[in-house]
């Protein structure tokens, strides 16, 4: 199976055979070869190209071997892939929404991995912002786009830090 993430939480139920599952937390996404706007990667983490080993060394995978009857919960945005360990493997996924309905993109999402509506809108906003610098010299446009990118990264880090503090507080309560 390809390396991917699902925007919906899911429960994976192993029915027959054995399966090796690798899971990566959402913070590993930038090290796993996801193209902009893609929810799947072409990287085969089971047989990674040696040129990709440095990026993989920055990740923190969890590994599980599922046997018939095993069930595992996969939270939204957790990157994962699986491979049978021997012979045929049969599993069933049950997806469910853990966010408010309006958070999900409108339209069909057969596999549960279409990105959230805010991300899809954000990508359009980024394209619009980049176009707004089209009539400027490249060095000036690059200067301001890099500043905007850094501001966005700072906000992402602050949001992640706030979420970590919230989790620690909840665990202490």
Tens of pLDDT, residue by residue over 78-116, are 999 999 999 999 999 999 888 888 898 888 777 767 889
Residue 125 lies in a domain: no
Residue 165 — very low, low, confident or very high, per pLDDT cuts 50/70/90? low
Together in a domain, 88 and 147: no
Say if 139 falls within a structural domain: yes
Residue 29 covered by a domain: yes
Residue 61: Cβ-neighbour burial (10 angstroms; 0-12, 13-18, 19+): middle
Q: What is the pLDDT of residue 166?
A: 55
CA nearest 42: which of 90, 88, 3, 76?
3
State whether 136 and 92 are in the same domain: no
Q: What is the pLDDT of residue 21?
A: 97
What are the contacts of 146-155 at 24+ separation with CB within 8 A?
Answer: none
Asked if 64 and 147 sit in the same domain, the reply is no
pLDDT tens-digit map of 106-158? 887 777 678 899 999 999 999 999 999 999 999 999 999 999 999 998 988 88
The stretch 157-170 carries a mean pLDDT of 67
pLDDT in the model for residue 77: 93
Is the predicted pLDDT of residue 169 greater than 70, yes or no? no
What is residue 62's predicted lDDT score, i.e. its pLDDT?
A: 96
Comparing C-alpha atoms, which of 78, 83, 71 is closest to residue 2?
Answer: 83
User: How many domains would you assign to the chain?
Assistant: 2
Least confident of 2-6, 50-54, 90-94, 150-154: 50-54
* Rounded-to-10 torsion of CA 49, 53, 58, 60: 70
Of 94, 126, 120, which Cα lies nearest the Cα of 107?
A: 120
Helix (H) or strand (E) holding 79: strand 79-96
- Please check the confidence at residue 170 and state whether its pLDDT lies above 70: no
Mean pLDDT of the chain: 89
Per DSSP, 76 falls in state T
Q: Is the pLDDT of residue 7 over 60?
A: yes
> Of residues 21 and 169, which shows the higher confidence score?
21
Q: Please report whether residue 124 resides in a domain.
A: no
> Does residue 152 form part of some domain?
yes
Range(s) of the domain holding residue 149: 132-172
């Amino acid at each position: 199976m390809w390396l991917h993430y699902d925007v919906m939480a899911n429960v994976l139920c192993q029915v027959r055979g054995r399966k090796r599952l690798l899971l990566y937390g959402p913070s590993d996404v930038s090290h796993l070869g996801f193209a902009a706007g893609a929810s799947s990667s072409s990287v085969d983490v089971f047989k990674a190209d040696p040129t990709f080993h440095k990026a993989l060394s920055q990740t923190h995978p969890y590994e599980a071997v599922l046997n018939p009857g095993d069930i595992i919960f996969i939270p939204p945005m957790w990157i994962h892939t699986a491979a049978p360990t021997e012979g045929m493997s049969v599993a069933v996924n049950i997806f469910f929404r853990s966010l408010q309905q309006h958070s999900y993109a409108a339209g069909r999402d057969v596999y549960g991995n279409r990105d959230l509506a805010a991300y899809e809108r954000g990508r359009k906003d980024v394209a619009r912002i980049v176009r707004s610098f089209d009539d400027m010299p490249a060095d000036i446009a690059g200067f301001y786009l890099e500043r905007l990118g850094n501001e966005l990264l700072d906000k992402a880090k602050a949001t992640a830090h706030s979420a970590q503090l919230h989790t620690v507080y909840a665990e202490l309560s």
